[in-house]
Amino acid sequence: MAKYKFNLDSLSFTRESRGFAYWVKRALRYLLAGIALAVMVYISYSYIALTPRERRLAQENRLIEERLGELREKYKHLSVVLKDLEQRDRDIYRSLFESEPGRSDVQDAARRTNELFKSLAVDGAEAMVSRTREHARRLRKGTLAGSEAFDDLVELAQSKQELMVSIPSIQPVANDKLLRIAAPFGVRIHPFYKVLKMHTGVDYACPVGTPVMATAKGVVKEIRMSQRGTGNSILLDHGHGYTTMYCHLDEIKVRHRERVERGATIGTVGNTGMSMAPHLHYEVRVGGEPVDPINYFFLELDPSRLAELAHIASQNGQSLD
């Protein structure tokens, strides 16, 4: 459409002529507006929409995060189980089998997997996947190590089952309040000769007739009936080099070669033989050598009670036999 403008001189409308420069400016104006619009549309689309590759990567990241969360939960559970297995393994080896457990693969695996999880939070997706796989492998290795350790433990327990019931591990008389022990193992003043002499057992001051119990499973190897020396006494053979002796008895309630169980009554306290007062003299020997019986009450007394018993016994400087 033609464009007109008012001429003040002639007081009339005249047709405006448009040169080449006008059309160039007009074209440039539209071109720049179009470019600006295209840039804004592209920027907006880039923020709102994702490319197929970006969508795929985002989905993979979500799956990895979900899987990692599941692995964290499994790791927490397995860590508790492995820690419990390791603790029980160590306790059983030390307290029952008299041996130290080997190197803890379980502990090493748990430590390494804990370090792996700390690093997963800062790694990229590719490293996260790789480390997650490595973590799972080590967890399986740790669980397998715990399982193998317990297989070894079961085998050891089976081989030492007889030994466990043969170790003297309770007191020979009821002594809940720990007051009956009168003389400990060690050098003491002899009550008759008044000289220092090795006391090869412990003395329990008890009334005549107090039941005396076998401290482990065994066989009656010897019975002595005498008014001299150790008086009426019983020698039990528990096998594996362990023997126990019960002296100055009043009654003997077992026969030679009779098999007895731990806790079975084998006689009663007396005052026979070279005895200063009614009491039981109790000995434990390993390989024929006398050892301190107080160290063998572990099934009945915890460490603090054992220490208390040893302290009470040490207060008396003279034995009763």
Position 135 scores a pLDDT of 60
Amino acid at 218: G
Q: How far apart are CA 86 and CA 84, in angstroms?
A: 5
Confidence of residue 46 (pLDDT cuts 50, 70, 90): low
Q: How far apart are CA 267 and CA 137, in angstroms?
A: 61
Q: How far apart are CA 7 and CA 20, in angstroms?
A: 23
How many domains does one find in the chain?
2
- The answer to whether residue 290 sits within a structural domain is yes
- The answer to whether residue 302 sits within a structural domain is yes
Position 55 scores a pLDDT of 73
- The answer to whether residue 261 sits within a structural domain is yes
Judge whether 132 and 120 are in contact, CB under 8 Å. yes
Position 139 scores a pLDDT of 62
**Average pLDDT estimate for 179-199:** 85
Q: Give the distance, in angstroms, between the CA of residue 218 and the centroid of all CA atoms in the same chain.
A: 33
Q: Give the distance, in angstroms, between the CA of residue 164 and the centroid of all CA atoms in the same chain.
A: 22
Percent of the chain with pLDDT over 70: 67
- The answer to whether residue 181 sits within a structural domain is yes
R_g over Cα of the chain: 45
Instruction: Give the number of other Cβ atoms within 10 Å of residue 47's Cβ.
Output: 8
Position 133 scores a pLDDT of 61
HSE-CB for 39 with a 13 A CA cutoff:
6
pLDDT higher than 60, residue 98: no
- The answer to whether residue 196 sits within a structural domain is yes
Question: CA-based angle 202:207:213, to the nearest 5?
Answer: 55
**Domain span at 29:** 4-48
Judge whether 234 and 223 are in contact, CB under 8 Å. yes
Judge whether 245 and 212 are in contact, CB under 8 Å. no
Amino acid at 125: A
- The answer to whether residue 23 sits within a structural domain is yes
Instruction: Give the number of other Cβ atoms within 10 Å of residue 116's Cβ.
Output: 19
- The answer to whether residue 257 sits within a structural domain is yes
**Per-residue pLDDT reduced to its tens digit, 239-290:** 999 999 999 999 999 999 999 999 999 999 999 999 989 999 999 999 999 9
Position 84 scores a pLDDT of 67
- The answer to whether residue 286 sits within a structural domain is yes
CATH code, domain with 278: 2.70.70.10
Does 158 or 33 have the greater pLDDT score? 33
Confidence of residue 13 (pLDDT cuts 50, 70, 90): low
pTM: 0.53
Confidence of residue 126 (pLDDT cuts 50, 70, 90): low
The residue count of the chain comes to 321
Does 113 or 315 have the greater pLDDT score? 315
Q: Which of 197, 201, 276 is nearest to 231 (CA)?
A: 276
Q: Which of 50, 32, 29, 51 is nearest to 40 (CA)?
A: 32
**Per-residue pLDDT reduced to its tens digit, 57-73:** 778 878 887 877 777 77
Position 18 scores a pLDDT of 65
Q: Which of 30-39, 63-72, 149-158, 240-249 ranks highest by mean pLDDT?
A: 240-249
Does 9 or 182 have the greater pLDDT score? 182
HSE-CB for 51 with a 13 A CA cutoff:
4
For residue 259, CA distances in Å to 176, 232, 262 come to 27, 19, 10
Q: Which of 2-6, 43-47, 214-218, 313-317 ranks highest by mean pLDDT?
A: 214-218
Q: Which of 59-63, 97-101, 116-120, 129-133 ranks highest by mean pLDDT?
A: 59-63
Confidence of residue 205 (pLDDT cuts 50, 70, 90): very high
Does 273 or 41 have the greater pLDDT score? 273
Instruction: Give the number of other Cβ atoms within 10 Å of residue 230's Cβ.
Output: 22
Q: How far apart are CA 88 and CA 75, in angstroms?
A: 20
Confidence of residue 204 (pLDDT cuts 50, 70, 90): very high
Confidence of residue 131 (pLDDT cuts 50, 70, 90): low
